[in-house]
Amino acid sequence: MKRRDFIKSSTLASGAFFVPQFIKALSGFDIAKTHKRLVVIQLNGGNDGLNTVVPYQNDIYFKSRKSLMLSKQDVFALTDELAFNKSLKFHQQLFQEGNLTVINSVGYPEPNRSHFRSSDIWHSGSRSDEYWSTGWVGRYLDAGNLHNFEAIEIDDSLSLMLKGDHVSGIAVRDPRKFYNIANQDFFKDMEQQATKHLNEHNLGYLYKNLINAEESAKYVFETSKTYDNRTDYPNNNFAKQLKSIATFINSGLSTSVYYASLGGFDTHAGQRQRQNKLLFVYDEAIKTFVEDLKRNNTFKNTVIMVFSEFGRRLSENAGMGTDHGAANNVFLIGDKLKTPQFYNSAPDLVNLDSIGDIVYQVDFRSIYATLLDDWLGVNNRNILGNDVKKIRLL
Amino acid sequence: MTRKAIMKKEEIVHLYWRAGFGISPSELNLKQNQSRQEVVRGLFELSGSMKELGEDMSDLQKDFLNFRDSKSSALRKEFITKSKDRLVKLNVSWIERASATQAVLGEKMTFFWDNHFVTRSENAIHVQKYNNVLRKYALGNFRELVRAISESAAMINYLNLITNTKSHPNENFAREFLELFTLGRDVLYTENDIHEVARAFTGYRNNLESEFDFAPGLHDNEEKTVLGEKGHFTGRDIIDIVLKKKECARFICKKIFVNFINDVIDEEQLAEITEVFYKNYEIKELLEHIFMSDWFYEERHRGVKIKSPVELLVGIKRTVPITFDNEQDYIRLERLLRQVIFQPPNVAGLPGGRNWIDPNSLLLRMNLATYVLNNSTFEFEDKGVAEDTFEAIEKKAKKRGKVFGEPDWEHFDKEFSGYNVKEITTLFISGELNTANCIELLKDKRVTLREGCLLLMSMPEYQLC
């Protein structure tokens, strides 16, 4: 392509591409009440699913967890097989109200036990022997040719999950700061003159990203500031992320996917206290978040998916902790769940894999497929490939 | 022929961005009145023998042997902690080496092979040895390079050759060897070839000194069939069999094309360099051919490649030298920019090119120069790692800010004395500067040379080379 190719009719550059979104958002049209949203939460480090949803009557569990086992007085019983860790008080309520689905034994074939690799597999939606450089949410943006701000990670830099081939999501921790960075006069001047470069191979790609950054920052900042979130959230980083998401949702931002994460779950030693605290932080933040959405009548159009890159080994280690495992539970929280409470039976602690880890029963990609098809209303085949089967969740 | 003619300034700049990390006025000065052949020869001469990276590891080796002897988990932990610390130092020393060395082509190729023959290890002894293998063969013979990497402790452990034995073959290395290192996914080989290649590489081990230690008793000596050939093959035989296939030369040349020429492949030019490489797999001859070709300097190949984070950072550091006070700041920056040295995301390496760019990373990259050189507060914090505790993450969320270091602007002033702002542009931007207002600003007499430098480094065009 020649450097001097002028493409003046580019809709992207003229701004027409995103104007309808602004009009909708600023004219008081209540997107919040009609638009479906997905909030993805990662428990970073590999949450021990067996001490989260506890097989509190299972002898194998007791034998394998001599120091870490949670018995009747440490849990909220859900069925005669499974119970919640006592830190998950609000989740017990969600469970009883039918607003929570627990999917047990979620994973994938040939599980990888490295944090970064398994996390990449979950983020990309690849098989464990494939190396993809885009994420499933990024490809959702690609497939619909959506604007970057349709997927937001609450952080300073973008994770693989939101990276697409042509369109990537954006990372926003603080809308004002992001706006200030993207809208420096120097950058804005460049953007205004960028029209002529948009058709050039990589330079055009850079200018498009620059324009998109500026427009996304502007849209997120100007829309979210119309809503003053007075809800008191707990004072930690994770709760703050959820507060940002609630503010974005309740302000009428058209974003359909959000991503937040809570770290610290890599409990190789001294697990009991550490995990209980983390689950408490998690539960308390989710409670505040869900109640915030409910008050604003936006919970009914929101689904929360909670995952971890892997579960942990059934047998505890010598340091009163657990090592990296395989299949784990996934939570779905929402108002429109078709299979509330338990989607499937308790994890099989008898037939473990050769390393001693839980074998997956549900492929994580089938949860993605369901969320894409039955919640976000797009065809998952364009995003996940041809061979992923949906399951009954939504 | 242009070969005897004096090489044009913009061609020298283009060559130096691709073969190195840009060019300084004093370097450029030395090249004036030189022919292309002389300039190219000069590049190779400066990378003639690559200095080893890293320092004496005997103390760490002692810790390693201690824990191996005792099998104590406490000693193991101590070793890993020290080793990780050494990896940070090794990381910093590579960035610093690339930022100061004259052997730029050798460094560039070492980065290239590091992202091709990918390994990852917590053992700094393995990592340092491996890096020095890549250095040694970076511009040498590809066959010898493949042999050397397959016989390195880092690779033997990373792709499980250590557990690949006659009775229990492990196919991990064999699969990646064919798919990622030599032929490309599903090119020529079948699942059965993978199985047979794995058998040929049985018995590959390393000793406690991290040296190759072939174990004949674990090697499968029976006959194998690989890509149609039958024999009692060893690993080295397999390398020879695979390199006989022109597809192997093509696979490597394609990656070279994307990394050194253009991510839009010109099939004719790719075929041309494949023929050159296939003759004897001499890496130097391949690169020499590319750098001597008229087509390498065509406008369509100039200023179109998206710099990797390392290229970006090193390019800035070579213009205005700066070392950061805190070693962890190197890691923070690399994490934010998503290229952490010695921590590749997976065996396939980093995809590069447009994959570096999204709205956030672009803003970060365009702010990078002012961030590190102009002492500006930065509003981005890195994500940390999965092993971080809740408390560590909370603490970090509260302290985002600056990286500290003293930029050596005097060095910059000295290098560029006699230049005007507009003239720096030709050295900084390979290709054309497109934004009219920036050009206007650069013409403005009130803009100092230093400001002009920061201005140019903040342009989208500076992201390309």
pLDDT at B394 over 60: yes
Please state, in angstroms and rounded to a whole number, the distance separating the CA atoms of residues A172 and A167: 16
β-strands A302-308, A328-333: how paired?
antiparallel
Which of B362-366, B377-381, B417-421 has the least mean pLDDT? B377-381
How many percent of chain B have pLDDT more than 70? 96
The 3-state secondary structure of A324-375 reads ECCCEEEEEECCCCCCCEECCCCCCCCCCCCCCCCCCCEEHHHHHHHHHHHH
**Tens digit of pLDDT for each residue in B45-62?**
999 989 999 999 999 999
Q: Mark yes or no for CB contact B437/A193 under 8 Å.
A: yes
Task: Check CB contact under 8 Å for A168 and B304.
Answer: no
Q: How confident is the model at residue A2 (pLDDT cuts 50, 70, 90)?
A: very low
| pLDDT (tens digit per residue) in A162-191 | 999 999 999 999 999 999 888 877 777 776
Give the integer Cα–Cα distance in Å for B138 and B155: 17
The pLDDT of residue A11: 26
- For residue A59, pLDDT beyond 60: yes
Q: Does residue A7 carry a pLDDT above 70?
A: no
Cα distance from A92 to chain B (closest Cα, Å)?
24
B363 close to A (CB below 8 A): yes
Q: Under 8 Å CB-to-CB from A379, ≥6 apart: which residues?
A: A143, A372, A373
Mean pLDDT of A277-306: 97
- Indicate the helix (H) or strand (E) that contains B258: helix B246-260
Residues 6+ apart with CB under 8 A from A50: A61, A65, A311, A312, A314, A347, A358
At A245 the pLDDT is: 98
Query: What single letter denotes the amino acid at residue B132?
Result: N
- Write out the DSSP string of B158-211: HTTGGG--SSS---HHHHHIIIIIIS-TTSS--HHHHHHHHHHTTT--B-TTS-
**What does the pLDDT read at residue B420?**
85
Q: Tens of pLDDT along B88-119?
A: 999 999 999 999 999 999 999 999 999 999 99
pLDDT of residue A369 exceeding 60:
yes
Cβ contact A311:A325 at 8 Å: yes
CA distance B68 to chain A (A): 19
List strand residue ranges (DSSP E) for B203-331, in order: 224-226, 229-231
The predicted pLDDT at position A14 comes to 28
C-alpha atoms less than 13 angstroms from C-alpha of A94 in its C-beta half-sphere: 29
B65 vs B63: CA distance, rounded Å? 6
Say if residue B289's pLDDT is above 90. yes
Instruction: Find residue A328's DSSP bridge partners.
Output: A106
User: How far, in Å, CA of B57 to CA of B439, rounded?
Assistant: 51
d(CA B139, CA B103): 11
pLDDT at A290: 98
Q: Where are the beta strands (DSSP E) in chain A?
A: 37-44, 53-54, 75-77, 83-85, 100-107, 151-153, 170-171, 257-263, 302-308, 328-333, 341-342, 362-363
H/E run at residue A285: helix A271-295
pLDDT at A195: 66
Instruction: With CB atoms and an 8 Å threshold, state whether A169 touches B388.
Output: no
CA atoms within 13 A on the CB side of B361: 29
* Predicted pLDDT of residue B128: 98
Question: Which pLDDT does position B436 carry in this prediction?
Answer: 63
Residue B378 or B319, more confident: B319
Task: Write down the mean pLDDT value for chain A.
Answer: 89
pLDDT tops 90 at residue B251: yes
The model's confidence at residue B293, banded by pLDDT at 50, 70 and 90, is: very high
Neighbours of A355 (CB within 10 A): 12
pLDDT at B435: 67
- A107 with A346: CB under 8 angstroms? no
Q: Does residue A6 have a pLDDT over 60?
A: no
Has residue A3 got a pLDDT over 50?
Answer: no
CB contact under 8 A, A186 and B458: yes
What pLDDT sits at residue A146?
A: 94
Using one digit for the tens of pLDDT, what is the confidence trace for B131-175?
A: 999 999 999 999 999 999 999 999 999 999 999 999 999 999 999
pLDDT in tens, A79-136: 999 999 999 999 999 999 999 999 999 999 999 999 999 999 999 999 999 999 999 9
Taking CB atoms and an 8 Å cutoff, what residues of chain A touch B382?
156-157
pTM listed for this prediction: 0.91
CA distance B459 to B457: 6
**Given a cut of 90, is residue A24 above it in pLDDT?**
no
CA angle B432, B376, A163 (to 5 degrees): 60
In this structure, the number of other CB atoms found within 10 A of the CB of residue A357 comes to 23
Length of chain B: 465
- Output the pLDDT for position A254: 94
Residue A123 to residue A384: CA distance in whole angstroms: 12
Would you state the pLDDT for residue A196?
Answer: 66
B 229-288 near A (Cβ less than 8 A) = 263-264
Span of A21-30, B264-273, B287-296, B304-313 with lowest mean pLDDT: A21-30
Query: Tokens representing B118?
Result: 């990918």
Tell me how far apart the alpha carbons of residues B397 and A236 are, in angstroms, rounded to a whole number.
Answer: 9
CB B426 within 8 A of CB B457: no
Task: Report the residue of chain B nearest A163, measured CA to CA.
Answer: B358
Q: Are B318 and B108 in contact (CB under 8 A)?
A: no
Question: What is the distance between the alpha carbons of residues B402 and B329, in angstroms, rounded to a whole number?
Answer: 9
Range A56-73 average pLDDT: 96
> Residue A258 has what pLDDT?
98
Please indicate whether, in this complex, the C-beta atoms of A264 and B388 are within 8 angstroms of each other: yes
pLDDT band per the 50, 70, 90 thresholds, residue A4: very low
- The type of residue at A5 is D
Looking at CA atoms only, how far is residue B114 from chain A in angstroms?
17
A187-213 average pLDDT score: 80
DSSP A63-117: HH-TTT---GGGEEESSSS-EEETT-HHHHHHHHHT-EEEEEEEE-SS----HHH
Question: How sure is the predictor about A31, in pLDDT bands with cuts at 50, 70 and 90?
Answer: very low
The band of B437, judged by pLDDT with boundaries at 50, 70 and 90, is: low
Nearest to B12 by CA among B31, B30, B37: B31
Share of chain A above pLDDT 70, in %: 89
- Angle CA A268–A273–A279, to nearest 5: 95
Q: Which pLDDT tens digit goes with each residue over A254-275? A: 999 999 999 999 999 999 999 9
Identify all chain A residues contacting B393, using CB atoms and an 8 Å cutoff: 237, 263-264
Name the DSSP letter for residue A203: H
Nearest to A115 by CA among A321, A311, A347: A311
**Per-residue confidence (pLDDT) for residue B432, from 0 to 100:** 76
What residues contact B288, with CB distance under 8 A and at least 6 apart? Answer: B40, B44
Average pLDDT taken over every residue of chain B: 93
Query: Does residue A344 surpass a pLDDT of 50?
Result: yes
Most confident by average pLDDT, A16-30, B319-333, B385-399: B319-333
CB A156 within 8 Å of CB A198: no
Amino acid, res. A336 = K
Interface test with B, best of A147, A156, A259 (most B CBs within 10 A): A156
